[in-house]
Chains A and B, each alone.
Chain A
Amino acid sequence: MKTIWLNTILNRPWLTMLTVMLVILASAFGAKNLYFRGDYKIFFAQDNPQLQAYEKMQTVFSKNENASIIIAPESGQVFNPQTLQLISEMTEAAWQTPYSTRVDSIANFQHTRAEGDDLIVEDLLFDVQNMTAEEIEQAREVAVTEPNLVGRMISPQAHVAMINITVQMPEEDKTNKVMETADYVQQLSAQFAERYPGHDFYHTGVVFMNNSFASEAKHDAETLVPIMFLVIILVMWGLLRSFTATLATLLVIVTAIAATMGISGWLGIFLSTATVNVPTLVMTLAVADCIHVISSMFYGLREGRSKSEALHYAMRINLMPIFITSATTAIGFLTLNFSDVPILNDLGNLTAIGVMLAFALSVTLLPALLLVLPMRVASRQQMKNGSMEKLGDWVIRHHKRLLPISLVLVVISVAAIFNNEVNDIATDYFDKTTAFRQSTEFQEANLSGMSTMDFALYLDEPTALNKPQNLQLIADFSTWLREQPEVDHVASISDTFKRLNKNMHGDNPEYYRLPQERELAAQYLLLYEMSLPFGLDLNNQINLDKSATRINVTLENLGSKQITAFEQRALDWIASQGRPEVAVEAASPSLMFGHIGERNMSSMIEGTLIALVLISGLLVFALRSWRMGMISLLPNLLPAAIGFGIWGLYSGQINMGLSVVLSMALGIIVDDTVHFLSKYRLARGEGKDAEQAVRYAFSSVGRALWITTLVLVTGFSVLAMSTFALNADMGLLTGIIILVALAVDFLFLPPFLMVFDKKSTKEDKADETDKSLQGA
């Protein structure tokens, strides 16, 4: 069977190449369907409860996705004629922003005041050019005391101000709309920066966050993928010193990636911050297959065989091992389907497809290419590498000391795992070098956090909002919220009622309190709503039949634990008010990110367990031994444990990208174990004792393990260079685990086997599988 297949490929290399190329082209053609999607919702499944709560709130009230412009005058004071003119003009211009439905700033804040029985409703900054110093001072006084403004639209010391643009975007083709909007706002700022020197502009808000998700994905695609190609070429050249071999490998990689991304297009999977790294991952994982085949072939050539014979030899001894290692890797990636994060499911599925494609190509296209391409017989004698044997001897000599030392190290690292905590803060995903992160940090340092939480209070009947006891509850809740240390700003309708009550009583400050009659409150609201200009209505705070209100809270940029704890504290406070008829719900993008980490972690632990069972099962099958399968658990699990321990000491922050590292890494590191244990078992089967078997394993696969680890760690280090934390952390930790896995296989596993695998292994006979695993 195998021979027939091999002969088909090696006797008809051109036909093989043609067939493969046609299949690849058909797949790659799907790339026409690929598009970038930058939208934080790609992290949430449609049935995510926090997403549903958020979307419900957006239909009951108005949508509140926003783009914010923060204006910082170098003078350190917003209330000077020039800056006010800037804010006023820019507020007006911001209405032209695509998809905008509302613009808020200190300029168009609808300031109400009384003159006798007249209620005067006007922009806080009206006709700025003709404002006297006195009027400017009055406006400042209003702005820094108005609860709707201070702490959000203007800092208490009035040194920075914000213009907030609310947008309403149709969901279809949203990324382009996001980019269009972000571009418009950036150009607007550029124009005003030119016209009003001495002012800095920063952009934050959900629109810019979405925009950054898309632009970071593009940035990764444009930088990491080319770097990875360069690295692969250097590594291949360094290891094989053959132009043909490097070219053939590159062709295999390029076709594997093209087909994978094409299939992604056919499947309707879009490019996101996660899937944009599929090429890098596939490249990393595919190179190992090629190296195995090519180095075996070189070995055959050096032994004086013909090219065809050498290829036959290389394919024969490599087919099974690279199949097993590809399959375990694919299984590891497929368990990413357990994740609650849709784009991580995509990442897993695409990489799994890519790995299996790379396997298929390295046993079809690769041998065909190698056969056809001209190749000088590798003249350079592979150095008879004694270093592996030396390492083996050293480990054997010191195994009695190595075992306890490594056990102590393992215990320490496992203890350090508890330093880790699940933490997802969307703004912190972006590297400090990115404009978005710099803007959010500026905002946090000078104005407020970018995190928000919306509380909707659903009352029992239409117009129930106007009831004094409900208004009192809303006001008390707002007061409670403002007392919380995390809270930067609270926008609540209760403040508007208090202000109107004061206005209706000749601006007498004693009347800055809630109206005490339902009718009075209702009539104030009717009056006020009629006087508001276009776009500045109360739909963002009050629902249609006035049976519900939304309170917008701006928070410091909190971690997952803190934000969910704050949510719980707030819900508990409402529950303690003895008003069971009032239903309350909290929602926001920040809260969605706060919850996703925990949800994702628990489902990924489940996924990892399943990966472990499947992969161990495959190992039992590959090694044809239950005993070895059980022993293999140790070198498979320890690296992940130690890796997360190191992470606990290094960072301790587990974001949703890291939750998938466990099952992903498992599928990769298992390869080392397979190679090492199969050689060990082969030697044991031939009647050697543990020590001799360890020595044999070192000398036969030691170098190959070094090389594949080098390639894998290099690949994941490239990923670690991403400016997007989910990718960078995922790359870094996976790289660490792969490196640790090699250390475990070289320093811990041999002493362990020598101490615990003492009994004779007559019944465990070397078999077919072991032989086929030889070449790896």
Chain B
Amino acid sequence: MKRTRAYKGLNALVLLVLTSLVMPALAQTAEEKGLQIAQERKSRDEGWGDSQAEASMILRTADRQEIERKMRLLSLEMENDGDKGLTIFDQPADVKGTAFLNYSHAIEPDEQWMYLPALKRVKRIASRSKSGPFMGSEFAFEDLSSFEVEKYQYRYLRDEKLSGMDTFVVEQTPAYEHSGYTKLLVWIDKQHYRAHKIEFYDRKDSLLKTLTMHDYQQYLDKYWRPMKLSMVNHQTGKSTDLITHALSFRTGLTEDDFSQASLKRAR
């Protein structure tokens, strides 16, 4: 009896030593795995160049009243930096022709300009905020700007089934000091590395909003874009849908189309 027990104990010890020697080579920390997923996600979405979209925003109150806003979104992919974006507002009528230019940066404040047709002037907006509401919607500006690896620190949490898909659940902590969030939980499908659901946690670390992506379409045989984004604010009960009606890639836009001078031309 005694012998057997001692033998077993020795066995366990040997196993432990062996495992501790082998494990580091095989295993990956949750942080490393999270980063790896993010890098893969980014790499699968590189090279699209530029795009133009027509979109609507449907804003809803807690008691389901709704209102629609229309806009055009022009984007230019930038290497090693956040993308450049130009938003031209079409509706409501009193902001028609207002154009908003944004150079997004991962950990620096964005650069922002706005052309006000009623004032016939371009104004630069100097603000540290990226978390303000976009057109009074439940989307903050930082929710809409391009995904950059440097924007967050990552931690892989678990695998999960999300409406039949195999997904990774990754926790992302914003690197930007003035972000409105403490963390994001992102569900990324294992097949195409597309985000399907994002939970946003506010400064007191309670769930603020959930974003879900719907109706993914593939462009240029490679790039996946959701035709509908739904953001629900759990604290206020308000929600916003961002719907893309038309989207085209490689339309020949250049940096000139994203200059301050271009703002006045954009109609």
Q: Which residues of A pack against B, CB within 8 Å? A: 59-60, 62-63, 95-98, 100-101, 115, 117-122, 168, 462-463, 466, 504, 517-524, 526-527, 529-539, 542-546
Contact = CB atoms under 8 A, between A and B. Distances in A.
B125 A95 contact: no
Contacts, number: 142
B222 interface: no
B180 interface: yes
Contact of A520 (B60, B100, B119, B140): B119
A534 B140 contact: yes
A607 to B, nearest CB: 36
Most interface-central of A517, A519, A546 (chain B CB within 10 A): A519
B119 A534 contact: no
B61 interface: yes
B59 to A, nearest CB: 6
Given A462-B92, A544-B61, A527 B132 contact: no
Nearest to B93: A463
B94 A522 contact: yes
Contacts of B134: 530
21 contacts: A96-B203, A117-B123, A118-B125, A119-B123, A119-B124, A121-B126, A463-B94, A518-B94, A520-B119, A523-B94, A526-B89, A530-B112, A531-B112, A532-B133, A533-B131, A533-B132, A534-B131, A534-B132, A538-B136, A539-B133, A544-B65
Given A117-B123, A522-B94, A544-B67, A531 B132 contact: yes
A544 B125 contact: no
Most interface-central of A120, A526, A529, A543 (chain B CB within 10 A): A526
Most interface-central of A59, A517, A520, A544 (chain B CB within 10 A): A544
A537 B137 CA distance: 10
Contacts of A545: 59, 65, 67
B119 A95 contact: no
Interface string B221-245: 0000000000000011010000000
A115 B134 CA distance: 24
Nearest 7 CB-CB pairs, A to B? A534-B180, A534-B131, A522-B94, A533-B129, A520-B118, A519-B118, A121-B127
A103 to B, nearest CB: 9
Contact of B124 (A117, A521, A533): A117
A158 B140 CA distance: 34
Interface string B57-85: 00111110101000000000000000000
B107 interface: no
Contacts of A518: 94
Interface string B152-169: 000000000000000000
A521 B181 CA distance: 30
Interface of B: 59-63, 65, 67, 89, 92-95, 98, 100, 112, 114, 116-119, 121-129, 131-136, 140-141, 178, 180-181, 202-204, 206, 235-236, 238
Contact of B126 (A62, A98, A120, A532): A120
Contacts of A121: 125-127, 129
A124 B71 CA distance: 33
Contacts of B118: 517, 519-520, 522-523
Given A527-B114, A530-B112, A531-B127, A101 B235 contact: yes
Contact of A59 (B63, B117, B136, B178): B63
B204 A96 contact: yes
Given A168-B236, A530-B100, A522 B132 contact: no
Most interface-central of A98, A536, A545 (chain B CB within 10 A): A545
Given A62-B236, A96-B204, A97-B204, A531 B95 contact: no
Given A517-B118, A530-B114, A59 B98 contact: no
A523 B100 CA distance: 11
A529 B135 contact: yes
Contacts of A462: 67, 92
Contacts of B181: 534
Contact of A519 (B67, B117, B123, B204): B117
Given A504-B119, A520-B118, A522-B95, A530 B124 contact: no
Contact of B116 (A60, A98, A520): A520
Given A463-B92, A529-B133, A534-B129, A95 B123 contact: no
A331 to B, nearest CB: 43
B92 to A, nearest CB: 5
Given A462-B67, A546-B136, 5 more contacts: A63-B236, A519-B118, A529-B132, A531-B127, A534-B180
A524 B116 CA distance: 8
A119 B203 CA distance: 27
Contacts of A120: 126-127
Nearest to B59: A544
B237 to A, nearest CB: 8
Nearest to B131: A534
A544 B100 CA distance: 21
Nearest to A505: B119
Contacts of A59: 61-63
B67 A537 contact: no
B125 A119 contact: yes
B180 A118 contact: no
Contacts of B180: 533-535
A479 to B, nearest CB: 25
Given A59-B62, A95-B203, A101-B235, A530 B94 contact: no
Contacts of B61: 59-60, 543-544
Nearest to A521: B94
Given A462-B92, A523-B118, A532 B235 contact: no
B254 to A, nearest CB: 24
Contacts of B116: 504, 520, 523-524, 527
A532 B178 CA distance: 12
Most interface-central of B61, B132, B140, B141 (chain A CB within 10 A): B132
Contacts of B117: 519, 523
A211 B89 CA distance: 46
B156 to A, nearest CB: 27
B98 A526 contact: yes
A518 B100 CA distance: 19
Nearest to B94: A522
Contacts of B94: 463, 466, 518-519, 521-523
A62 B61 CA distance: 10
Contacts of B132: 529-534, 536-537
A119 B62 contact: no
Contacts of B236: 62-63, 101, 168, 539
Nearest to A504: B119
Contacts of B238: 544
Nearest to A96: B204
A180 to B, nearest CB: 12
A489 B180 CA distance: 29
B126 A119 contact: yes
A530 B125 contact: yes
Contacts of A536: 132
A100 B126 contact: no
Contacts of B93: 463
A531 B65 CA distance: 25
A168 B235 contact: yes
Contacts of B126: 115, 118-122
B95 A519 contact: yes
Contacts of A546: 136
Contacts of A118: 123-126
B154 to A, nearest CB: 22
A55 to B, nearest CB: 11
Nearest to A167: B235
A527 B135 CA distance: 9
Contacts of A519: 94-95, 117-118
Contacts of A466: 94
Given A117-B121, A530-B141, A534-B140, A100 B204 contact: yes
A538 B132 CA distance: 10
A163 to B, nearest CB: 15
A529 B127 CA distance: 11
